[in-house]
Amino acid sequence: MLKRKLGINIDHVATLRNIRGNTFPSVLKAALVSLSSGADSITVHLREDQRHIKPNDVLLLKKKLNKPLNLEMALTKKMISFAIKVKPEFVCLVPEKRKELTTEGGLNLFYNLPLLKKSISKLKSFNISVSLFIDPEIKMVKQAIKLKADNVEIHTGSYCNFLNNEDKNKSKSEFNKIKLAARFAFKNKLGVHCGHGLNYTSTKNIRTIKEISEYNIGHFVISQSVFDGLSNVVKKLSKIIKN
Ligand code: PXP
């Protein structure tokens, strides 16, 4: 049976830290608490504008953690060089727009093809497992296979929004898209990850798609921690995903 894993995205610990321009709360401590509470990996998104995670955070996490680090980043030459310097276990390529509040959709795998191809093979040559963040569309999965990615991370953001807004028809249809894309990717030997907008309820639902092996969850974890504490939230999500 596929072992399901939980990745905790700690970007918003850095958001809180940066508000006061100091060192508290510590992203390293948040990562260590998450890992000791059941997380299998830590995810950070180093954005071009460095609005939360900074390059030094990534370097420190890579040095101190004894579990995989998943670096989310845009497809730019500068970021690829940085990733090769840090050598995280995973890189997840995501689209990035400067003014967006958060990642708004999957990466268009038909755009910027020469750089995309070259970057994937370069990262892989440094033993970095490459994941492509995609919308739940078969054509994107097919392209990820062609590009020889190791994994796809299926964007669950639209599904979660429909679910939160109690739009049953749209959430059902988006859920089916995720299921079909996950099955197709799995059959074609890609690792299937998912993420964006997940909370307890949506994770419980997505968890029924048995082809998905990894869940990357951030904003909800840090927000719910205000009420319940980071360790309790990670433990609860870990239980939902792994039981
Ligand atoms: N996966 C990817 C590729 C993302 O860009 C993000 C947001 O940084 C997440 C997962 C986590 O999303 P959320 O913070 O909504 O849980």
User: Of 52, 155, 193, 196, which is the active-site residue?
Assistant: 196
Q: Is 45 a catalytic residue?
A: yes
Give residue 138's pLDDT: 98
Give residue 156's pLDDT: 98
Residues contacting ligand 1 via CB (< 6 Å): 9, 11, 45, 72, 92, 94, 102-103, 133, 153, 195-198, 216-220
User: Of 12, 52, 72, 155, which is the active-site residue?
Assistant: 72
Give residue 208's pLDDT: 97
Q: How many other CB atoms are there within 10 angstroms of residue 80's CB atom?
A: 21
Give residue 145's pLDDT: 98
The residue whose CA has the least distance to atom 6 of ligand 1 is: 196
Give residue 105's pLDDT: 87
Spatial distance between the Cα atoms of 170 and 173, rounded to a whole number of angstroms: 5
Q: How many other CB atoms are there within 10 angstroms of residue 92's CB atom?
A: 26
Residue 12 CA: nearest ligand 1 atom is: 14
Q: Is 12 a catalytic residue?
A: no
Give residue 99's pLDDT: 67
DSSP letter at 194? Answer: E
Q: Is 196 a catalytic residue?
A: yes
Spatial distance between the Cα atoms of 174 and 168, rounded to a whole number of angstroms: 10
- Distance in Å, CA 169 to ligand 1 centroid: 24
Ligand 1 binding pocket mutation candidate from 44, 48, 72 (most atoms within 8 A of CB): 72
Q: Do the Cβ atoms of 14 and 52 come closer than 8 Å?
A: yes
Strand 214-217 to 69-73 pairing = unpaired
Give residue 96's pLDDT: 81
Q: Is residue 98 packed enough to be buried (19+ CB in 10 Å), middle (13-18) or exposed (0-12)? A: exposed
User: Of 12, 45, 52, 155, which is the active-site residue?
Assistant: 45
CATH superfamily of 22-242: Aldolase class I (3.20.20.70)
Give residue 161's pLDDT: 97
Q: What are the residue ranges in the chain where pLDDT is below 50?
A: none
Give residue 98's pLDDT: 65
pLDDT tens profile 155-179: 999 999 999 999 999 999 999 999 9
Q: What SS3 class is residue 63?
A: helix
pLDDT tens profile 35-54: 999 999 999 999 999 999 99
Whether the upstream peptide bond of residue 88 has omega within 30° of 0, thus cis, is: no
